[in-house]
Every structure is written in C-alpha cells, then in structure tokens.
Structure 1
Amino acid sequence: MQNKNSQPTSSHESLIRGSAWMTFGSIFSRILGAIYIIPWYAWMGDHGNVANALTAKSYNIYSLFLIISTAGIPGAVAKQVAHYNALNEYGVGKRLFKSGLGLMVLLGIISAAVMYFLAPILSGGDLRQVPVLQSLAIAVLIIPVMSLTRGFFQGYNNMAPSALSQFVEQLARVIWMLLTAFIIMQVQHGDFLDAVVQSNLAAAIGAVFGLLLLVYFYKKKQADINELVLNSNHEVEVSTKSLLGEIVRQSIPFIILDSGITFFQLIDQYTFHPLIKLFVVADYDRIESWYALFGLNANKLIMIIVSLATAMAVTSIPLLAGAHARRNTRDIRDQIESTLELFLFVMLPSSMGMAAIAQPIYTIFYGYDATGASVLYLSAFISILLGLFAVLVAIMQGLSENGLAIKYLVIGILLKFALQLPAIYFFKLYGPLLATAAGMGITCWLALYHMKTSYHYNQPRLERRFIGIAAFSLLMFGAVSGTLKLLYLWLSETSRFHAVIAIVVALVVGVLVYGFCVLKTELAQKILGEKINGLLRKLHIRI
C-alpha cells in the first residue's frame, strides 16, 4: 500500500497493474472451475447434463442470494474507501470497513437461513434441487465477510489479496468437488444427486480457505494501514451511524447492477422449460439437457473470458471513484478511454478465439456434441456484450451514476423478457441466447451513448482502435478456423485427444497472428504502454 508521500502511480498504470492482478485471479479461477468439469462430467455417466442442469439452476439462485447477502456492500466499500483515501482520510475508510463487517455477518445469517428454508419453493417443483440449494446456503454464511475484505483491499487499489484469495478459494473448491464426486460415483457407485450436493457444498469449503488467506494479508498490511490512518488529515468527521447509512445507500444500486447477468439467466431458468414445451414434444430430462447446453455447459466456458472484463471492471471502480472525488474531469475521461480500450483489446480476440475453437473445446469438456458446440459458438460472440455490460456498469458505479445504470438495465431486462417467447418459437434452443443479446445490446448502447455525451471522451480515437482490434481479431479468427479445418482432414472430430492437439495448434496460430498484428502496428504499445517494448527486448523478440 502506498503512503501519501510516495510518488503517485498514474491512473493508467494503476488500471493496467490492477487489471493484471484481477485477471490472474479471475482467469485461473475460471480455468480451474472449467477444467474440473472434464472428469466430473465423465464420472456422472448418463446423468451428466441433468447434473449440470441442477447445478446451473441452483447456482443462478445462489448467485442472487449471494449478491443480496453481501448487499452490494463490498463494491460500495471499495468505492467509498477509495473516495476517502483520495481525500487523505484513511481513518474514515478503516472505520467504514469495520462497520461493514458486523453488517455482513448479520446479512449472511439472514440470507443463508432464507435460502435454506425456502429451497422447496425456489426449486420450482424439482425436489432434486432442494438439497443442492440447501448445501449452497452454507456458503452464504461465509462469503459476505470474505467479499467485504476483498472490497477493502480494492479500495486501496491493492488487487493482489483479492486475486490470490480468489484463486485459493477456487482451488479448495475444485479439490473438494473432485474428491467427493470420485468417491461417491466411482468408489461407492452411489447416487449422482449425492455427488451434486457435495459438489455444491464445495463453495463453502473454498470460502473458508479464501477468507483465511485474506486474514493473513490483512495482518501483514496492518502496520502500513495504521501508519496511513495516523498521517491522515483527520478533517472529516463521520459518525458510525452515518457510515452504516452511507454503506446501505451506496450498496443498494450495487445489488441491482451486480445481479444484472443473473437476472437474464433467471429468466431463462424459469421460462425456457415451459415455453419450449409449447413448441417441442420432449420429456422432462430431455428439456433439462437442452437447458444445460447453454445454461451451464457453454456458460461455464464463456465466463472464463467474461471474467477478463469483470477484472477490469473491479479495477476501474476505485480509480474512477478517486478521480470523481477529486473532481478531476480529465482523469475521468482518460479512465473511461483506457478501460474501454483495454476491454476491446482483450475481449474481442478472446471471444472470437473461443468461437473459432468452439467444437474442439466443447468436445474436450463434454464430449462430441454438434449442437452443444454450435451453442458455444453463438455464446462466445454474445460474451462480448456480457463483458461490455460489466465494464460499463462499473464505470457508471464509479461515477455515482447508479440510477441511470439501473434504468438502462431494466430496459434491457424488459426487452429480453418480451423477446423470450418469439425467440424460442423461431430459434428453439438458440432463442434465449438471442433474446439475451438483444437485451444486453440495448443496455450497453444506452450506457455508451450517455458516456459519450456526458464526458466527451475521445470517441474518434476509440473508434479507430476498435476498427484495428476488430480487424486483427477477425484475421485471427479466420486463421484459427482455417487451421482447424486443415487439421480435421486428418484428425477425428469426436476424439478428445485429437481435440487437444487441434486446440494447441490453433491457439499457437491465433496468438502469433493477433500478437504480430498488434505489435507490428504498435497498437499494443498504445494501449498497454511503452513497457511492452521493454518486455519484448527482455524476451529477445523483434517484430
């Protein structure tokens, strides 16, 4: 952590460094959360898609309860701590954190109890889902405190504790999931539902380990924090009651906005089954298997790349809040430009790359399924809108424009809901994805238009860089797709081993093509900074 007398780091460098840490945590956590599915899905045998559907539906409800139980307070605390730190009032930020801890414990207990006892109602009539929801309720007790502690560190723009605890949390979770699934399904030859319950209980196991690591970091940094508090201005006097009121006022918009993607998923969860039955004759488990294709199978993979945007979003909130507190219009404008450029630079090639390798990557995780691969292909493109939504909402939160962000989100949700039935009628399984794209698309367009007219960021420069990134991403997409077509002249499309070979070769081609283009044109240097040239020299790479 940085004291007030140290040389300040530029906001652009802070964004890059913070995004790097949060990207590390998010990406490796998501990769772990995706890789485990390969053995886990195989051990479920014929119940694989149904087990995935149970997990997906339970996790959507769990995600909503988790956001409610934390009440948006971690994000609000990160924003407010950054606000007071920018004013050299570190003591107020520390008191804000301590006041929030008690609130988190109380909200965790209430939310976990409500989720546990309302599980039969929330299950939508599927009794198999009740014990799964109840096992997830245990995690709701722990995660609020862990999330608040992460928010405190993020308020100092110290992303390493959050990133590392996220990774440790996921690692412990995956170990528990695989261990219990193997014992129940392969050793005991037991019921797949018992394995699903234990796999969801793993969320609580992971949370314990993640929280313990955060406590370690807090103890390690406590002396630095106390010194910053001691050297504060001590000019702002805020009562504990006022701090709690401030937390609640700031947190309510975070609850709604952080639930944005979950709201879209819940619409699919509760409407897909009854609506598809109007147009298709199929049994219950068959429809659940279709839901699993986009509700969990594809979603789990695209969230790996959406987490890139989420990492940038988390980093941008405290930086924008600090600039907003200082009323530094130029810094705000620069932050918006940097965040959007970094998003495009990372998200476009990532999503197009996943679309290009949709078939082999789906085969590796779930076995060969042409329909599942096509769902993943479409989902990969839609992930651009999901990621953009996360970034735009974070920017508006950092600028205290929560009301407008909520308004735009509600418009998107209403459009999604209105299009759900006709989209399923015309496009069947793909309908919910297209309705989501329309809803997210209008929300993102409204937010972008508002920022352009209100903050006057350099739109011509952003457009030029967008065109360059999009062109290089399309070039990479074509090179990867062509490489896969050539490889599959000799490789089998249904073989997992051959799919691994295809992906390794395709990824090398994709990285080389996109990397060469952005480095040769110096687009990477313009977005990531001149330090990229130093890295290239150290690696003895000449473009």
Structure 2
Amino acid sequence: MSSLMKGTAILTIGLFLSKLLGLIYIFPFYAIVGEDNIALYNYAYIPYNIMLSIAIAGLPIAVSKFVSKYNALGDFDAGRRLVKTGALLMTLTGIVAFILMNLLATPLANIVINSDEQAFTVEQVANVIQWVSYALIVVPFMSLIRGYLQGYGHYLPTSVSQLVEQIVRIVFLLGGAFIVVNVMDGDEITAINFSVFAAFIGALGGLLTLFYYWKKLRPEIKAVQVVAPREQRLPYSDMYKEIFKYSIPVVFVGLGGSLFQLIDLLTFNRAMAASGIPAEIYDLYFTMLNLLTQKIVMIPVVLATGFSMAIIPTVTKFYTEGNLRQVHSAMDKTYQVLLFITVPAAIGISILAEDLYHFFYSFSEMGTQVLSHYAPLAIFFALFSVTAAMLQGVNYQKWVIFSLLVGLLTKTILNTPLIHLMSVDGAILATALGYGATITINIFVLKKVTDYNATVVLRRILLIIILTIVMALAVWITHIVLTAIAPADTKILALLYAIICAGVGAVFYGAISYRLGLAQLLLGDKFTKIARKLRLVK
C-alpha cells in the first residue's frame, strides 16, 4: 500500500507541476511576440486544447482501469492484447486527427475571421492551426502507453513524461520564438507558427521518456504475462466498449473549459461586429478574454482544486462502503476548503487587476477591466471540477455529461445576445451562467444521491464571504494609499504593490479566520504551525 501511495503522490506532484508550467509560460511568451500578435497563437490554442483533451484526459485513465482490473482477475493477456491492437489504433487515430484538423483549419479560420480589418487573415489563422496539428500524430499513442504502465502500478513514467513533455515544449516554444524574433530578425507571425509546432516537439520528448521506462519495465511485465487460449480471450468488441465507457465521462470533464472557449471562438468576433465595435480590437479582446486573463485566474484554481481534490478519494471510499455520514463530512470539508482558498483569491485578483496585468503583460485599461471582471469565474471553474469529480466518485458519470451539455447550451444561447448588450462582459456573464447551470445540476444530483444536507456549508460560506469582504477592504485601502504615494507606472512598482496588498489581505484573512477557528478546522495543524512561525498568532 505504501508504494501505491508513493506512486500516486509522485503522479499528483508531476501533474501539478506540469499544469503550473502550462499556465505561467505565457508571460515570457507575451513579452517576446507582443500583445498585437499573441491573439494568433490563441486561435490555434483552443482547437489544439480540445484535441489534446480528447487524447489525454480519458485514455490513460481508461486504459489504466482496464489493465488494473483484468490483471487483478489474473487475465494479464487482456492488457497485452489491448496495448498491441491499441498501438496501431491510436497511431491511426492520431493520423486521422492530424488530417482532420488540417482539413478543418481553413473553414474554422473563416468562421473566426469576420472582417478584413481584423489583425490577421484567414490564411494566417489556418496556417497556425495546421502547424499545431502535428502533435496529434504522437499524443494518442503516448496516452495509451501511459495508461498501460499505470495499470501495472507504475505511475512514475506518466508523471515524468508529462513533466518532460511540458518542459521540452516550453523551452522550444520560448527559445524558438526568441531566436526567430531577436536573433534572426524574423517576424512575429513566423515565431508563432514555430511556437505552436513546439507541441509536437514536446510530445516527442514525452514519448522518448516513456520508451526509456518501457524498456526498463518490460522484463517485469513480460514475466507475468501468459498468452491466453483463443477461446478464453475477451472479445475486442467488449474490450473497446469497456474502454469507451471509462473514458467518455473523463474526457467531458477535461474538455469542459475548452468547449466553453470554443463557443467564444465561433461566436465572439461576429457578435462584436454586430454590436458595431471596431474590427481592430476584436482579436485583442478575444485574447484577453480566453488566454491572457485566463492564465492568471487559473493559478489559484489549480492550487485550490489540488487541496480539495485530495479529499475526493475519501468520498468514493465511504460511498462504496455505504457510510453516508462520512460521505457528508468529506463533502462538507471539500466544499469549504475549496471556497476558503478560491473566494478570497478571486476577489483579490479582481481588486489588484491593474497591477497584475501590468506586471505579467503590460499596462492596459482594457486588460485591467477584463481581468477584474473575469477573476470571479475562478470560483465557478473550481466548483465545476470538484462537483464533477464527486459525481464520478459516486458512480454517476452520466450526469456529468448531461450537466456539462446543459451548461454549454446555456452559454451558446446567451453568448451572442449578451455580447450585443455588454461587449466582452457579455461573454464573461454567459460563461458564468453556463458554469452556474452545470454546477447547480451537479450539486442537486449529489444531494439526491447521497441525501446531503448543506446547512453547515452554507453557514461557513456566509462566514467566508464576510471574511473576504473585510480582506477586500483592507487590500483596497492599502492599494489606494500606495498609488497616492506613487503611481505604479513600472513593472517593478506594479509587482511590489501587488505583493504588499496581497500580503496585507493574507494577514487579515488568515489572522481573523484563525481567531474564529475556521483556518484550523479546514487546513489542520499545519496552518497553525505556519501562522505561529510568521507570528500572525501566538
């Protein structure tokens, strides 16, 4: 058991670091290619993310569950046959996905580019989508190998290969863009084409890492494999039916954010045009909405869901045992930990939007406005991830798909009319309403299935809101005083002000929540030790 827990911990750390790198690389990349050009990268980023989610989000987990199940039953041959036929199938799938994305690149670009006055042409958008599509040749096959090795209890190959893939991609992306722009005096469009191709190079790095582990672990795996007689073999139709059953709900959860962004990709520019907004700013607004501000907002979401998702296996365990009292206790703590971290972080980002956007990108009134209004969505993103995971934990995966489809339908119906009324804020509101519909359904189903009473959580949410208001006032007053002394007209000052204000907010929020006993209740003794070391409490 200890080796399994160790492997799971390594996998979690690797995935967390990979996600974090995937968020922060955009800041130096923005500095290299500039605000006016990064929108082109974003147009390829969304369809690529969807394809990547399909390949990565479901397959490793599905294959891992399948192999682990049949190994436990003594049928080691089932996993061998799956990886043998799956290798060919996933290679073909990758090639088909590559061809499909290339064929769809120009039609998709025609939908995205609504006016000749926009910053980019249809051809440029189509080219960047085609350049990123090369990664799809490698990723499905790589995902199969990751899942297969996980099925034998080897989590390290997945963790290390994902981390290597991300590091190689980012180094190639940033290094290539820098060389094209600053060394070879090339244009930023060429640099962006080069940068999206980095996804393919990163995938090769991940694949080579997996081959290293495959070679190392193959003797151990072959030692337990026995080729089953033909009449005892699991039919391929049953095999792949089971794989799809495992993977589809996971794929939907992984695709959630990207599908909401896809709706913006297909409707945003045309809705802005119908509102009479100048075509010159479509691309910039869209990129601020779905790339630049989103990267900042997702940082606390990753941290918060990391804390709360650790409690999810407990929900699964107690539900399987029929211990609903413990299920309710675990759900209470999950919701509270999530909101305790995410709510103040989201409001803090909203208040400090000007300094944060200035430091990470450049000073921009437009960017400040979008980030300030977009930041509260962090709460919705985190709640969606956790409620969807809980539904999977209690084996109600179909409702995850249903609720997400309702949310996407809500976003699709409301996006264009709300953009007509409110410009970019309309797209933000449509996203909030879409996620709100999904989360409401998830919580309602969880309540019905587990007979859950949210009275305790609602009281704690009210307390968290009051604490956040106090914190927000402290941060706001501190920021007013600092800017009155000297405006944050440089990146260094913007960073300094953001750190000081965030520190003041953390002290107020942490100290008051500690005095009320909330912090110790949710975060345990570790928070008490940290608070005492920082001399926030006695």
TM range, normalised to the smaller chain? 0.7 to 0.9
Paired residue for 2:192, among 189, 196, 199? 196
Distance 1:30 1:70, change over 3 A: closer
Equivalent residues in 2 for 1:1-80 (5 A)?
2=2, 22=12, 25=14, 28-29=17-18, 31-45=20-34, 48-49=35-36, 51-70=37-56, 72-77=58-63
**Post-superposition shift, 1:38?**
3.9
Q: Does residue 437 of the first structure (1) align with residue 432 of the second (2)?
A: yes
Question: Which amino acid in the other structure matches residue 247 of structure 1?
Answer: I
Instruction: Find the residue that maps to 1:244 and give its secondary structure.
Output: helix
Q: Residues 272 and 110 of structure 1: is their aligned pair in 2 closer, same or farther, counting only changes over 3 Å?
A: same
1:132 match:
128
Q: CA deviation at 1:76?
A: 3.1
SS of equivalent residue, structure 1 residue 127: helix
- CA deviation digits over 1:420-470, x for unaligned, max 9? 222112211211011111111111111111111221335223223333333
Q: Please tell me whether the aligned partners of residues 89 and 229 of structure 1 are also in contact (alpha carbons under 8 angstroms).
A: no
Distance 1:477 1:287 in 2: 32
**2:117 matched residue in structure 1:** none
Residue 407 (structure 1) shift = 1.7
SS in 1 for 2:376: helix
Q: Kindly tell me: are residues 489 and 21 of structure 1, through their superposed partners in 2, closer, same or farther at Cα, counting changes over 3 Å? A: farther
- TM-score normalised over the length of structure 1: 0.82
What letter is aligned with 2:100? V
2:253 maps to which residue? Answer: 257
Once the two structures are superposed, residues 270-307 of structure 1 have per-residue CA deviations (whole angstroms, 9 ceiling, x without a partner) of 11111111122413x42212212212221222222333
Residue 378 (structure 2) pairs with residue 383 (structure 1): yes
TM-superposition CA deviations, 1:49-100 (whole Å, max 9, x none): 3x22222221111122223345822343455567779x78795996698465
Does residue 144 of the first structure (1) align with residue 130 of the second (2)? no
In 2, Cα distance between equivalents of 1:351 and 1:211? 37
Cα 1:152–1:259 shift into 2, 3 Å: same
Compare relative contact order (CA 8 Å, sep 6+) and give the higher one, 1 or 2.
1
CA distance in 2, matches of 1:433, 1:505: 29
Q: CA deviation at 1:134?
A: 1.7
User: Is the contact between residue 55 and residue 143 of structure 2 (CA under 8 Å) also seen in structure 1?
Assistant: no
Q: Size of the alignment, in residue pairs? A: 522
1:177 maps to 173
**1:488 alignment partner in structure 2:** 483
> Which residue does 2:456 correspond to in 1?
461
CA-to-aligned-CA distance 1:28-48 (integer Å, 9 cap, x gap): 445544544444323334xx2
Residue 497 of structure 1, aligned match among 492, 495, 506: 492
Q: Deviations over 1:219-274 (max 9, x none)?
A: 778899899999xxxxx996665332200122233333332222211111111111
SS at the partner of 1:368? coil
Over 3 Å counting, the alpha-carbon distance change for 1:389 and 1:521 in structure 2 is: same
| TM-score, length of structure 2 as denominator length | 0.83
Q: How far apart are 1:526 and its partner, in Å? A: 2.5
Supply the AA of the counterpart residue of 1:73. Answer: L
Counterpart of 2:187, as a letter, is D
Residue pairs, 1:289-300, within 5 angstroms:
289-300=284-295
The 3-state SS of whatever aligns with 1:494 is: coil
Structure 2 unaligned residues grouped into runs of 5+: 114-121, 227-231
Distance 1:518 1:19 in 2: 29
Q: What letter matches 1:42 in structure 2?
A: A
* Contact 2:78–2:234, Cα closer than 8 Å, also in 1: no
- Counterparts in 2 of 1:111-126, with a 5 A limit? 111-124=97-110, 126=122
Does residue 472 of structure 1 match 2:467?
yes
Partner deviation per Cα, 1:399-435 (whole Å, 9 max, x = no partner): 3322222222222222212212221122112110111
Shift in Å, 1:372: 0.8
Relative distance call for 1:318 and 1:153 in structure 2 (3 A) is: farther
- SS of 1:259's partner is helix
* 1:282/1:535 CA distance change after superposition, 3 Å: closer
Contact 1:177 1:199 in 2 (8 A): yes
SS in 2 for 1:457: coil
What is the correspondence of 1:264-343 to structure 2 with a 5 Å cutoff?
Answer: 264-283=260-279, 285-308=280-303, 311=306, 329=324, 332-343=327-338
Over the matched positions of the two proteins, sequence identity in percent amounts to 32
For 2:221 and 2:521, locate their aligned partners in 1 and report how far apart those are by CA, in whole Å: 35
For residues 19 and 343 of structure 1, what CA distance do their matches in structure 2 show?
20
Letter in 1 for 2:496: I
Task: Give the distance between the partners of 1:491 and 1:93, measured in 2 at CA.
Answer: 68
Cross-structure match for 2:95: 109
Provide Cα deviations, 1:482-519, integer angstroms capped at 9, x if missing partner.
Answer: 22222111333332121111122223223333333344
Give distance in 2, aligned partners of 1:79 and 1:531.
Answer: 34
Aligned to 2:119: none
1:525 counterpart = 2:520: yes
For residue 233 of structure 1, what is the aligned residue in structure 2? none
Checking the alignment, whether the CA contact within 8 Å between 1:139 and 1:203 is kept in structure 2 is yes
Distance 1:533 1:500, change over 3 A: closer
Q: Please give the alpha-carbon distance, in whole angstroms, between the structure 1 residues aligned to 2:334 and 2:161.
A: 24
Does the 8 A contact of 2:308 with 2:335 survive in 1?
Answer: no
Contact 2:488/2:497, CA 8 A, preserved across alignment = no
Q: What are structure 1's unaligned runs of at least 5 residues?
A: 231-235
Report the CA distance between 1:361 and its aligned residue: 0.9
